């Protein structure tokens, strides 16, 4: 037999400690808000050096699973913030060379269905949040960054109104990737602001009376309008998306 075996990869001890802690956290044996034992006690339990435990805790902290409360030396278990999770997925999509067209196509599939679920499950508090966003968008006038923020908030609030965390977490990365190009589109497409305001108002009205069909219809129109706006603004939908913090496309447009 001429084919050689590949060397066995030895996993660092801190990774094994992190995996053991993660297993307990995901199994709910350690709950959100629970404090872990001290580094010294954990090192004793695992039979490793304290520095190994410290590195394992740091790894879980960077994943948003642990945090240290002010004034405490003990780590506390926490749920990763939604923005934190979405940012990680967004970065992965960027590295996979997704385009604005990819994002738009995904949103054209997801958002109408999310609007339907929102119409079915929204509460009065959800409507109040959406009303405030609509007012904020109208008041933003020529403040483009604020306009973009309000559009992102609108999509987020619609997802929140479904009361389905899977839908919320699935939608957020797409909205994050859409944000960098929105400013360029809003500034260059003359009717963008008025058409966005109309769509927001119509979707909210549909949610108010729990009309799922109307919510889906207007959300579909809203997403289609984004593509038309990009075309009017001369933005190439085949351009690859970049970080929401800085968009090369928006800078060049």
The enclosing domain of 120 has a CATH number of 1.20.120.530
Same domain, 89 and 69: no
Residues 113 and 166 in one domain: yes
For tokens 């889906």, what's the residue?
216
- Which of 77, 101, 126 lies at the terminal end of a domain, its last residue? 77
What does 10-43 look like in DSSP terms, one character per residue? Answer: PPPHHHHHHHHHHHHHHTTSS-TTPBPPPHHHHH
Specify the pLDDT at position 244: 54
Task: Give the angle subtended at the CA of 10 by the CAs of 4 and 14, to the nearest 5°.
Answer: 165
pLDDT reading at 20 higher than 90: yes
H helix intervals, 96-191: 100-121, 124-140, 144-160, 165-188
Domain match, 164 and 101 both = yes
Mean pLDDT calculated for residue range 3-16: 81
pLDDT digits 0-9 by tens, 91-127: 888 888 889 899 999 999 999 999 999 999 999 999 9
Residue 175 lies in a domain: yes
Per-residue pLDDT tens for 29-64? 988 899 999 999 999 999 999 999 999 999 999 888
- Position 235 pLDDT exceeds 80: yes
Q: Cα separations (Å) of 4 from 1, 7, 8, 9?
A: 8, 9, 12, 15
Residue 49: CATH number of its domain? 1.10.10.10
Element (H, E) at 66: strand 66-68
Indicate the residue among 23, 46, 77 that finishes a domain.
77
Q: How many domains does the chain have?
A: 2
Virtual CA dihedral for 191, 156, 83, 230, nearest 10 degrees?
-20
For residue 58, is it within any domain?
yes
Q: Convert the pLDDT of each residue in 173-211 to its tens digit.
A: 998 888 878 888 888 888 899 999 999 999 999 999 999
pLDDT for 79 beyond 90? no
167, HSE (Cβ side, Cα atoms, 13 Å): 22
d(CA 228, CA 230): 5
20 and 130, same structural domain? no
In a shared domain, residues 156 and 212: yes
- Say yes or no: 133 and 62 in one domain: no
What's the pLDDT band for 243 if we cut at 50, 70, 90?
low
197, 98: one domain: yes
In three-state secondary structure terms, 65 is: coil
The alpha carbon of residue 83 and the mean position of all alpha carbons in its chain are separated, in whole angstroms, by: 5
Q: Please check whether residues 65 and 116 belong to one and the same domain.
A: no
In a domain, 51, yes or no: yes
Indicate left, alpha or beta for 236 from its phi (over 0: left) and psi (-120 to 50: alpha). beta
Confidence label for 251 from pLDDT (cuts 50, 70 and 90) = very low
Report phi then psi at 96, rounded to 5: -90, 10
> Which whole number is the average pLDDT over 157-173?
94
Supply the pLDDT for residue 246. Answer: 41
Reply yes or no on whether the pLDDT at 90 is more than 90.
no
Q: What percentage of the chain has pLDDT greater than the value 90?
A: 58
How far apart, in whole angstroms, are the C-alpha atoms of residue 55 and residue 78? 18
64 lies in which domain range?
13-77
Q: Return the pLDDT at 161.
A: 98
Q: Considering the domain boundaries, does residue 24 fall inside one?
A: yes
Q: Do 58 and 142 lie in a common domain?
A: no
């Amino acid at each position: 037999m001429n084919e050689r075996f590949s060397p066995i990869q030895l996993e660092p001890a801190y990774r094994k400690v992190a995996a053991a802690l993660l297993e307990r956290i995901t199994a709910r044996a350690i709950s959100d808000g629970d404090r872990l034992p001290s580094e010294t006690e954990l090192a004793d339990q695992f039979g490793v050096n304290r520095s190994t435990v410290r590195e394992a805790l740091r790894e879980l902290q960077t994943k948003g699973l642990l945090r240290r409360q002010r004034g405490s030396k003990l780590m506390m278990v926490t749920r990763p913030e939604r923005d934190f999770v979405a940012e990680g997925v967004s970065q992965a999509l960027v590295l996979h060379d997704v385009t604005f067209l990819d994002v738009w196509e995904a949103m054209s599939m997801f958002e109408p269905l999310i609007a339907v679920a929102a119409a079915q499950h929204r509460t009065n508090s959800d409507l109040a949040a959406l009303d405030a966003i609509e007012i904020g968008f109208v008041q933003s006038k020529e403040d483009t960054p604020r306009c973009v923020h309000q559009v992102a908030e609108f999509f987020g609030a619609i997802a929140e109104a479904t009361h389905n965390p899977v839908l919320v977490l699935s939608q957020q990365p797409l909205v994050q990737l859409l944000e960098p190009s929105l400013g360029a589109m809003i500034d260059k497409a003359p009717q963008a602001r008025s058409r966005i305001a109309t769509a927001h108002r119509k979707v909210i009205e549909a949610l108010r009376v729990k009309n799922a069909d109307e919510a889906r219809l207007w959300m579909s129109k809203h997403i289609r309008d984004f593509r038309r706006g990009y075309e009017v603004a001369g933005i190439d939908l085949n351009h690859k998306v970049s970080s929401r913090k800085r968009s090369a496309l928006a800078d060049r447009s």
